Structure formats: C-alpha cells, structure tokens
Structure 1
Amino acid sequence: MSSKKTISTKNNLKVLFEDNHLLIVNKRAGDIVQGDKTGDKPLSEVAKEYIAEKYNKPGAVYLGVVHRLDRPTSGVVVFARTSKALSRLNKLFAERETEKTYWALVKNKPSTDSGTLIHYLKRNPKQNKSYSHVKEVPSSKKGILHYQVIKELDNYFLLEINLETGRHHQIRSQLSAIGCPIKGDLKYGFDRSNKDASIHLHARELTFVHPVRKEKLTIIAPLPQDPLWNACD
C-alpha cells in the first residue's frame, strides 16, 4: 500500500521534546522518517530546517536518525542532535533498553483480553512485508509483544501493545496472524484502506534514559485527529 503524500514543513512539525542533544517529534501518518526511493522529503530534513531556523544555524545541521516508524504509522520519533547522543541512543535501542508502547485499533477482538504473542517473522523484501510463523523457519527472527485490550468502541477494539523485540512490521504482522489486522492496513489483511492511506497504529509512548543527562524520559505522543482516535482519548 502506498501512503497518500503529506507535505511536511518546519511549520507543521509537531515537537514533543527538544534540548541540545535530542529532538523528539510526533510523526504524522504519511510522513517518511528518512529518505527513500520515492524521493519525498523526509521528516529528518524537515527537522533540520526547523533547527537551522530556530537556532539561527547558517551551516549544515547535524541530525541523526535513531529509529524509524512505518510511513502509514504515527507517533513518537527520536532524532539525535549530536554524534555522542546518536551513538548512545543507538546502543540503548539495540540493547532493548527502551520501553515502547503502541496503540492499535482492530476490528476483531483477540481471544483473550491480554496476552503475549510469540512468532517467527520472515521478511520478504520484494513485497516489503513480514510473515509471522508459529514455528521457526529459515531466515526468520523471533518476535515478542505483549498486548491488552484497553477500550471497546462500537466497531473496534483499542489495544495497548508493548514491544519486547523490534522486527520489521512486527505489530502489523503479528496482529494479522491472530486474526486482528489493524484498521486500514490492507497489506496485512484489513478489508479496506483508510481514506488518507494511514493505518490506525500509533507509537504512543517511549521511555528511555537521556543519553547525556542520564535522566529517565517518558514521551507521550497525542493521538492523530480523527473521529476514531478521538473516541480513544
């Protein structure tokens, strides 16, 4: 599924936190974090323009991409403003010393109100898709997530998901494997797309230790503005 293009500018950048070392933003569905083959302007470049103007930096602005979110997904994205912060954050993320919480809206209720999903995910690069298997298969990687139903709407269920591993399309693939594809996610089995090509998956909260100050940071990203997400707040 190709996401509908949104125009990113420094004026519509949704900044959640910033200091000399970090810039944390609330990514909109449709924005890409880093440049890709589409040639669309990535969020990283928009963030550089924002920093250059706000802090009157005439030269090249340093900004490191720490992690990514899928294009149709919204929520917390962390950038590093110094190489020291980037290397330390890369280590934190690689060693899973972060707490990542996502919210997802699904049509079908899981068989239990809370649980742990363990699958072996195999990526198909040509399809840009990951398949979840119950047993290990060649070239697969183990994926673990924990979920809880936190709200029931008229036609959808809101799940809170905590990732234990960070695999390609992990949440999308694992929820699809248990018959609970995310609203709007045609690639993983939902019956129709959202009008704006988003999916109802939001990186809601991220907790980690500040790479320089060594203080614990918890960042919460407000939900996108649409009737369904509004009903979840």
Structure 2
Amino acid sequence: MEPKEQPGPREDELFEHHKFVASPGQEPLRVDKFLMNFIENATRSKIQQAAKDGHIWVNDAEVKQNYRVKAGDEVKVMFEHPPYEFLLTPEEIPLDTVYEDDSLLVVNKPAGMVVHPGHGNYSGTLINALLYHIDHLPANQNERPGLVHRIDKDTSGLLVIAKTETAMTHLAKQFFDKTTEREYIALVWGDVQQDSGTITGHIDRNPKNRLQMQVFPEGDHGKEAVTHYKVLERLGYVTLVSCRLETGRTHQIRVHLKYIGHTLFNDARYGGDKILKGTTFTKYRQFVENAFKILPRQALHAKTLGFIHPATGEPMRFNSDLPEDMASCIEKWRHYAKHRS
C-alpha cells in the first residue's frame, strides 16, 4: 500500500515530533509496529489513533497504520502542537513566591495559570515563569522541569517546586508514599449532610467524554483515589468544605465531590456552572449569575501544603489565604444565607 498524496499546506500546519529512517536491512513491517520499536512509552493503540488522525507520515505523505515500512523509508510523527522541548521557553512572568531556598521553591499559583505547556497552552505557564527565574531545574519522569505535583489551571494555591535532583527524588517519594499534607478549600452545591467523611473510588477518564474524569466505584478502571472532607460552613444552597488528599489523581476533588452529589460551584467541566440547587425565583437566579461573575472558575483553592524538607529533614508547612474572587463569592453567599434564614 503506497502513501496517500496530500496537499503541501497540510504539512506546513503540523510539527515534527519524531523522525526515523528505516535501515537498509529493514524487512517490510507495519508502520505501527515499526514505531513501537522506536518511541518510548508509546502504545500501539495511541500510534494507531495518530495514524487515523493523519499524524503518521512516510516519505512526506500521510499513511494509515497498516502501511508497511520498507528499507530507506523516512517515517515522521506529526502533530498540530510543537514538541514539548520547544515549548520550554523562559518568560518574564511574576511569581508569588511563598518560600525559597537552595533546594526548593513554594509558590502560590493564581487561578487561570496553566502549570506546564501543552496542547492549546504553549506560553504563559508556570514552567515558563520558573525557567526565567531559576537556572537548571531538574526534570521529573515526564521531562517537566521542577514539577513534583500540579494543580488545575483554574484552581489557585500552593505548589512545591524542586530545584535539585535530590529534592526532586525526595519530594516525589513523599507524594508517592502519601506522607505530604494537602488541604483544599472548596465551595460546593448543596447542603452536605455529614459533617465529615471519606470519599473513595477509583478515578479514570470518562469513556464518553475524554475531557472529564469519572469515579469507578468497583475499582475495575483507573487508580485508587481517597479524599477526606470536613464541612466548614453551611450557607444554604452551597457548603464550604475542607478536603484533604490522600492520593493525587487528576481532577480528584472535583470528581469525588460530584460523585457524592456536590459539584463544585461554577465548575463548568462538571456542570457546576448551572444553578443546581435553590429556588426558581428570578431574583435568586440573578444572585447566582452575579456570584458566577465574581468567581468565573471552579471554587477550589489549594490552601495548605506540608512536607519534609529534602535537605534538612525538617517538617515544612505553608498556608495561603483564599484569593479575592473566591473570598468575595463566599461572603456573598454568607450574606444571602443570613438574610434567607
């Protein structure tokens, strides 16, 4: 099967991520199997999907996954976004530094800032800022400089950054061993019935919506996830809660709270940007819409971060105040709840 001809401009829109030239002794081999031999951590299903999406090219023309690579063929993997290493550009972006020494840095990330570059977010990230302020950050297992953990774009709060290889290894082990302290403050829809509790349930991608995560209570998919919560304040149709993470899965708090019927306030990805509780009165609808404007993101803040210092062995514990948008929204609900009762 010969490569299918494609118009030139299509290639100009793509970025080359991998290029391999088949050796003179290469026996005919399906391109998906060929690439499996060269790309570390690649799965055959991902390679086949890339081919279906038109991202596998041989001799400058798009091919399907069953194309057989021959001696001398030039095989490329092309994507719409630049390779990750091209995105690691230092940018002069201010950092809200809570603590810094020779081993590590603790920053208070604002809502709206992406932690690391990726599809659709090629600049303005925390990593771009860190590379400007710090030389020679160590890379984690995903080749991301300094990152030990991360929080979502529209979640605010504390992150620890490793400045040395020793710090990276030591801190990563603490997160893996679940010995760190991580407390988040969340505003959720509804009146949470129990004053405190623990939410368990494996978390994995939602098979019907790949942008969402989902709880699999039987544990047949995903990874174990454990969230401990405590009610801080009941505000009528919403509740302010503290969440302590035992594990750190993608969207864990957002997914676990939705799972027990209490979606984060204004969490658009999980439906929290709709009026989920309350009355049908026009004035109430206007009140909630105004609250959405005050807090135009999910109501989640990484408030407390604790760990053992990788060099000194001393316990470290940091706290951050609620950002203005979240504090103002909570105060608005307090005022509403007071005058409603």
Q: Calculate the TM-score normalised by the size of structure 2.
A: 0.59
Per-residue Cα deviation, 1:76-111 (whole angstroms, up to 9, x for no partner): 111111111111111111111101111100121222
CA RMSD of aligned residues (A): 2.2
After TM superposition, give the deviation of residue 230 of structure 1 in Å. 5.8
Structure 1 contact 30–197 (Cα < 8 Å) conserved: no
Structure 2 gap segments, 5+ residues each: 1-90, 138-144, 275-288, 334-341
Per-residue Cα deviation, 1:144-200 (whole angstroms, up to 9, x for no partner): 111110122354211001111111111101100111000111211213494464211
Secondary structure of the equivalent of 2:254?
helix
Return closer, same or farther for 1:40/1:124 CA change in 2, 3 Å cut-off: farther
After TM superposition, give the deviation of residue 231 of structure 1 in Å. 7.1
Asked whether 1:200 is paired with 2:299, we answer yes
Larger Rg: 2
Partner Cα separation in structure 2 for residue 202 and residue 230 of structure 1: 16
* Greater relative contact order, per chain length (Cα 8 Å cut-off, separation 6+): 1
Q: Counterpart of 1:220 in structure 2: which amino acid?
A: N
Structure 1 gap segments, 5+ residues each: 1-7, 52-59
Structure 2 contact 191–237 (Cα < 8 Å) conserved: no
Q: Pick from 62, 87, 96: which aligns with 1:14? A: 96
Secondary structure of the equivalent of 1:84?
helix
Secondary structure of the equivalent of 1:116?
strand
Match of 2:39 in 1: none
Per-residue Cα deviation, 1:107-129 (whole angstroms, up to 9, x for no partner): 21222111111112222486232
Corresponding pairs, count: 215
Q: Output aligned runs, 1:1-233, within 5 Å.
A: 9-11=92-94, 13-38=95-120, 39-51=122-134, 60-62=135-137, 63-124=145-206, 127-137=210-220, 139-153=221-235, 155-192=237-274, 194-195=292-293, 197-226=296-325, 227-229=328-330
Secondary structure of the equivalent of 2:105?
strand
More strand by share: 1
Structure 1 contact 110–178 (Cα < 8 Å) conserved: no
Return closer, same or farther for 1:85/1:201 CA change in 2, 3 Å cut-off: same
Q: Calculate the TM-score normalised by the size of structure 1.
A: 0.84
